[in-house]
Amino acid sequence: MIKSLFSFQNGTPRWIVFTADAIMVTCSLLLAYLLRFNFSIPAEEAQRLPSILLFFLLIRMVFFFVFRSYAGIIRYTSTRDAARIFFMLMAGSVVFGILNVIRFISIQVYFLPISIIILEYIISVFTLIVFRIIVKSVYAEMRLPSRDRTDVMIYGAGQAGIIAKHAIDRDAGSKYKVIAFLDDDPKKKGRYIEGIPVYHAPSDLEELLRANSVKHLILAIQNISSQRKKEIIESCLHYDTKVLNVPPVANWINGELSFKQIKKIKIEDLLERDPIQLDIQKISNEISGKKILITGAAGSIGSEIVRQIIAFTPERIIMLDNAESPLYELELEIQEQKKFLKAESVIADVRNAERMRNVFRSFQPDIVFHAAAYKHVPMMENNPSEGILTNVSGTKVCADLAHEFKVNRFVMISTDKAVNPTGIMGATKRIAEIYIQALNKQSATQFITTRFGNVLDSNGSVIPRFKKQIEERLPVTVTHPEVTRYFMTIPEACQLVLEAAAMGNGGEIFLFDMGKPVKIVDLARKMIKLSGLTLGKDIQIVFTGLRPGEKLYEELLANEENTLETHHPKILIAKVREYNFESISSQIRELIGLFDTQNNEVIVTKMKQMVPEFISSNSVFASLDQKQELSETKESAKL
């Protein structure tokens, strides 16, 4: 019987559970009698006891069948099983009470004294539940002793923390052992939750990590600040403790948390900041009921702008891109997940003036978000002619059509690489910025530029590349030990684009607060640690050298620029020099005309004339800077 009871392969046979429950309720009744009569049962009651016991057991067994209390697998006993036992015994006791009333009315004698019914119910509930808990604990200990289980801590001693513990006990209790709760509330320190001590998070965290071999820390607080989360993760990384995150309640499956839903912290969580406070009403006033055209809609930024704009109920969204498959996937997402049916997918190339004219003529957009661009620095360094065709000519085509068709606002997405550019990509974006600013003076359309740095997890960015290298156990490649970059999440960047678009009056270049720059090598080290690997043992970091056109440090403002504050603390306005539209327009037409020559040297030379601060870095075009410097020196000598 004992062997069958602890049969781990197929679970305890149901007849054993049924028999054990029957024995326990029988013993509970006998104990209730002993307690009721002070361990001296009267002779009259003792004579009646066998018949009463038989009838009592019959009723209890009927309810065993009705509630199927024997069908649960004991080693996986949960609160639902305990509730089933509670109501099963309650139903039987109610029947005993009813029989008591009937028998008393009939022959003035109780079937069972009321006190015995109550005592038996309490003892049976306690006995059946404790029995299951003991079997579950013994099973867990035999399968994997406590000393062999992984120690985990839960950050958050509130309801979410308790639910997280229950999820661990239910789904992974044989592998993990919760050794502590942590909470920011000092009043909870020293208390116990289900036998587990509660510690004060800020003061006790380091000591707990140092004194114990904690494999995982589970964050079960939903409203924790980004700064506090970063501090916790940094402390855990120092002790090689993985941080897991309980998802928001809205994401729980059928309203219940399972251990599999508790996910690893991502590198994005280390770089995110507190949520941005937007002027929702102002953005809604600008977008609600309007026709919105988004170029580059299938890209990282363009697609997120689409997702966020939907919330402001535009009349129609025109999603334009020349990448067929990503645009199709975005269309399906918008229709199936967002349930937004007023989106139009348009395959078009912003460089094709006639195609774009037809788009503007057909849809008559009120606002244009221009996100279409080539963005990869090394690629553009090798293909300057394509860079000017898309980033300069494509922007000019869209901006000119916005002016012609009297679009209310035109918002261009630019980059910090346009500031004191050192590569082709940054220079093309700076030329596009200049044209937008100059055109704003000539047009009723409000032309606005937004400028920010690297966007986390965007297509082709450093985060996905590092993830792929780590997953494949390849060396993580970093260009230079000192290279730093500003980072921003995709949703955060797009929120600020919408806010800037709503507040702009035309002609501004809006800069976003990018926080502190991050060393790329530190980013790589943290990603390796978050993956559970050891740097130098499981994986290496290899320095490959700066790529053509790449900077060590990014800037958000050029030397001649300064900033003005706005009502939003994360958005500034760059004050830049003004440009003559006719002169700039003429130079851009000349630059675009050089595409036909396919002479990179001639094209880049013209770009350097238009953007004097464009000094090539680690590039074949650096020689042009030397020639230009030599030419300027000769001119000075003549003077």
Number of other CB atoms surrounding residue 275 within 10 Å: 11
417 is catalytic: yes
Count Cβ atoms within 10 A of the Cβ of residue 306 and give its class: 0-12 exposed, 13-18 middle, 19 or more buried: buried
Of 494, 493, 477, 402, give the one whose Cα is nearest residue 446: 402
Tokens of 385: 């002619």
3 state SS of 316: strand
Q: What is the DSSP string of 223-234?
A: S--HHHHHHHHH
Of 618, 488, 626, 622, give the one whose Cα is nearest residue 550: 618
In angstroms, the CA 68 to CA 539 distance is 54
3 state SS of 295: strand
Tokens of 341: 């049916």
| 234-266 CB burial, b ≥16 within 10 A, e <16 | ebbbeeebbbbbbeeeeeeeeeebebebbeebb
Q: Which positions ≥6 away from 156 have C-beta within 8 Å?
A: 164, 181, 182, 183, 219, 220, 221, 246
Catalytic residue among 177, 417, 606, 608: 417
Q: How far apart are the first and last CA of the chain?
A: 109
- Say if residues 182 and 232 touch (Cβ distance below 8 Å): no
Angle between the N-to-C axes of helices 14-36 and 114-143, in degrees from 0 to 180, rounded to the nearest 10: 140
Of 201, 262, 187, 190, give the one whose Cα is nearest residue 231: 201
Dihedral class, residue 515 (left if φ above 0, else alpha if ψ from -120 to 50, else beta):
left
Which amino acid belongs to residue 638? K
The pairing of beta strand 242-245 with beta strand 263-264: antiparallel
Number of other CB atoms surrounding residue 15 within 10 Å: 10
Sign of the alpha-carbon torsion through 339, 345, 351, 354: negative
- What is the radius of gyration, based on Cα positions, of the chain? 36
Q: What is the DSSP string of 553-622?
A: S--SS-TT-EEEE-SSTTEEEEE-----HHHHHHHHHHHHHGGGGT-HHHHHHHHHHH-TT----SSTTH
Helix, strand, coil % in the chain, rounded to nearest 5 = 55, 15, 30
Tokens of 357: 């004219």
Q: Which residues are catalytic?
A: 417
